Structure 1
Amino acid sequence: MKEVKIESVLTVYDNIEELSKDVISLMEKAMEARQNAYAPYSKFNVGAALLLDNGEVVTGSNQENASYPSGLCAERTAIYYAGAKYPKAKIVQMAIIAGSTIKQTMSPIPPCGACRQAIAEYEVKQDAPIEIYFMGETGKVVKSNSLANLLPLVFDKSFL
């Protein structure tokens, strides 16, 4: 038997002002996208913005449905739109801002498991890491240099 230790390395910023101007701009696009969320059931609005290697920025917001599995998270909305509109472009950075509409959310909120798997698919497809920045409504911002850092032991096409 052998024990294996897996670690993730994250960079934590005290607030959005500590980020570079380019990343702040991307975070602001995610904030704008969050305003378009449709979340009447969870009251939890999420916005995502992707910077592509062609310079385009694609955004998405969560879209709920009374039949819960039919809704879609902001991250996947943005990723699938980018894949449909710019199929050859690589995702360079992703910004995510999330929070409740009934209480203030100050803790950084990472992508859910389903979104991590979707992001992993694109990271593997493009054979390049995706920088991911995430936060609550205010407060600290967390940066991961890649999705693989957030989802070690990723399930990908190599297993099929």
Structure 2
Amino acid sequence: MNVKFQGNLMTLEGTIIKVGDLAPDFTAIDNNLNPVSSKDFKGKKVFVSVPSLDTPVCDLEVKRFNKEATSFSNVNIYVLSMDLPFAQGRWCGSEGIDKVKTLSDYKDREFGEKYGTYIKELGLLTRAVFVVDENNKVIYVEYCEEISSHPNYDEVLKFL
């Protein structure tokens, strides 16, 4: 699958996820450098894949999901990027992000591979959103065609 970055075609590596698929299990690294397995995530989940928290669109996107998370008691939102855990923790602390959980895919790129979000040319994750129900079934998928564009927040929120 291809996406664009500032109009240039980029190649996504890994398995492209579709609505109806079972959400693949993955391990990522939390802000304390501990491995975290998605097998342990309970309830409805949103996986938000972003290139880097230190970019303007990602910054606004994560802040928006953090704000929206206060409206949903039964939903856990996880933001994944290739940012190092230290950078994620620093950014969350400086921006007051406390409702979403950031996870880093820097070490094994397992999320990128299993969710088809790894950008071959950039070594980053593409912008994508996956909503997974309580039975681990994918009920919403959005791979943003242009990496520097926001996802469709209204559509994501309909599934929450």
Regarding TM over 0.5, the answer is: no
Q: Which has the higher strand share?
A: 2
| Structure with greater proportional helix content | 1
